[in-house]
Amino acid sequence: TGQYFVSAIVAYTQTVNACHVGFNRNNSNPASNYDPWINMGSTKSAHHSAVIYLSAGDYINFVTYQSQGGTYALESHRTKATVRLLT
């Protein structure tokens, strides 16, 4: 239980439209005033980070999507997620 730094980085193998990356806690927003998504526009990569409160038993989902259409691969060594306890 405490404050955690949460970060997600995604990199597609080619440029996509509306490259989104985000995360949520227990399948919902981590806080009422928090936007769990960032839209980087037409690009190959996106990054999103925040400090959020987690309790014992909480879990984080990391997600990405694009509006290009079809299935696009992610760069295997450039797509990462980090969760670190701060307090």
Nearest to 9 by CA among 64, 67, 55: 64
pLDDT in tens, 38-59: 788 889 999 989 898 999 999 9
Q: Is the pLDDT of residue 28 over 70?
A: yes
The pLDDT value recorded for residue 87 is 76
The answer, as to whether pTM is greater than 0.85, is no
Cα–Cα dist 5/30, whole Å: 12
Taking alpha carbons only, the member of 44, 41, 40 closest to residue 14 is 44
